Structure 1
Amino acid sequence: MTAAPPLRSPAPPPTGTPTTRTTRRLSALTALTALAVMTALALLAVGASLMFGSSRLSPGQVIDTLLHGGTSELHAIVYGVRIPRTVVGVIVGVCLGVAGALMQGHTRNPLADPGIFGVSAGAGLAVVVGVYLLGVTSTSFDVLFALAGALLASIAVFTITAAGSGTASPLPLALAGTAVSALLEALTSFMVLSDRDALGAYRLWVVGSLSGRELATAYAVLPFAAAGLVLALLNTRALDNLSLGTEMAQGLGQNIRTARLTGLAAITLLTAAATAAAGPLGFVGLVVPHLARALVGSGHRYVVPASALLGIALVLSADVVGRLIGGVGEVGVGIVLAVIGGPFFVHVARRRSLVAL
């Protein structure tokens, strides 16, 4: 009696079969649904930023002021304070969220932060130099100095790396950024300890805050933020290729050097704009990309917009909390992010599925 042939498991369907296409469509639908929910969260955060603050106004008063102008006092609060800081908060949230997604994508490091290229250190040193050497006391000039310092620090990091092993690998960039940051922070410490005015200006700036920001601040950093976002969107396909490995990306026709330089330019512009506008804000660029990947998957065409939306929601929500718990003096958004973000990031880091790249 002939034995029956052994049972074989069915072969997986080849790429392009109806099953594969259906899976991709379901994945895309899930990602788009998550993006819609995140858009709603970002809009709610914008609304909360306009409605709540240290000045106790009812939602009806705020809406009436937005639609009809309101009294002179209400107009000054809504149009002079809340709208400018909300606009700046939106720009900062978008910039840090997207910069964090690009940074972690290029370095393949789940703990990578946008400030690793010396951007924050360069901005801080420039603010101190403006006060220490030039006697600058205007917030508008502080923004310009911070922006210039952030860009110059990034250029220094790129120049050092290019003179060595090049930008094809992310490791030399991270090492150069760490070294430049340490040097700039040492110079900053020397100046702030030598001059009381410089110490006061640096102390207010380094906390990270949206308080007192004007629309002029948004206008100053918006061109850099817009240019960074354009480069980030152009870089998404390259990031997906690089996630497969350098050799595989080259096999797919990806120019590694061009991809790295495009991504690094985007990170620099976005982080410089955010740091100049609100000071160095931690946690946003570190954890937001992890949450985005957990919600929409690893494809960067979804991760980048998701990180932007989550960045808006997080920055504005932290700012609202700081306004409500701080009374008249308020609590800087950087402090709120540190208090909330530290324990939360420990929880996220313990879940390997969220930090895997």
Structure 2
Amino acid sequence: MVEKCQGSTARLCSHVPGNSAQTTKSTQAKIAEFAGVSVSTVSYAFSGRRKIAPKTRQKVLDAAAQLGYSLPSSAYENRARKHIIAVSAPIHSYSSLNGYSAFFFETLSGIRASGSDLLLFASEADELERIARNDLADGVILLDVKRNDPRAFTAEHLSLPVVSIGVPVNVECKKVFSTDLDFKRAAEITIQHAAESGLMNILVLGDREQAYKDGSNYLFRFKKYLGRYALEFGIAVNFAYSPKKIMDIAEVLEAELTKFPETDALVINSAAEVVPIAFNYLSHRKGMKPLPMLSVGSYGNLPNQGCMIDEIPFEPHRAVSLAMRAISRQMNGDISMCGKSEMIEPRYLDRGTFKK
């Protein structure tokens, strides 16, 4: 059974009690006419009582979505399984190799542990429609999510289960489950630690400028809330972008510390590979005491890179675990997590470096 939703977009709705059989037949007739198939084909596409060609089934689901009807849980539950989960992981000019590999391999491990294979897509253009149209996968996981991510908009019109690691904050998602490190809370923890340690003038080394212009969701959230909490505690925050060439980090830091000589701490919210270079530079400045340092959004393994500094890590396995749970439940017909988001509480790894 399919139900009509408010608005023009298709979305998953709870079943409405009391829908008559006549209403259901009328709905199926409209979808059948739009898709150019028989009413019985529409019925089989949703009920799974008879096997139909994957392309025909997708044609029916697409027609329902375009007409603004929601999909019953059986639309997920009864679809022929391919045991493939697609991962949409766009590669940008500012993409971090460490970050990309950390999330990719953790996601691969999660998918393989579920008994499925991974199908990787590395661009954003129309790939979700192509996956659904050609019945290439049982579901999709989105990585490297933007604030206004077009993939999240597209997912609202598809019958395919979609989950997002990263929160598309400017998209009204009623189908997509999203999870991420709570960067608002990470910003609050950062300022609280700074205040407790008497640090009053913080330099933040962010990621490349283009990442912010593109609307990278976690970078935006951390920067926004760090500034907000800093005002509450009377802490001054200056912000600098990472350079395009990673070996120019020292030059950027030198310029910023010269401009703001009162700086008494450095917070890094950038690619993980930036941290060792910044750490080595600050550790070897002649005649200068080591600057208190904290890395936010790296991966918890900085000591392995020779950087024994405080850290609020983004642990990929925690996010991937939540994403896999959500997509598995959706593929089995449970739509209770659709449209919800679950923030991961940050952990503070105290190595004694973010204090005077």
What's the TM-score once normalised by structure 1's chain length?
A: 0.28
Q: Which has the higher contact order (CA 8 A, sep 6+)?
A: 1
Q: Could you state the TM-score of these two structures normalised by the residue count of structure 2?
A: 0.28
Structure holding more strand per residue: 2
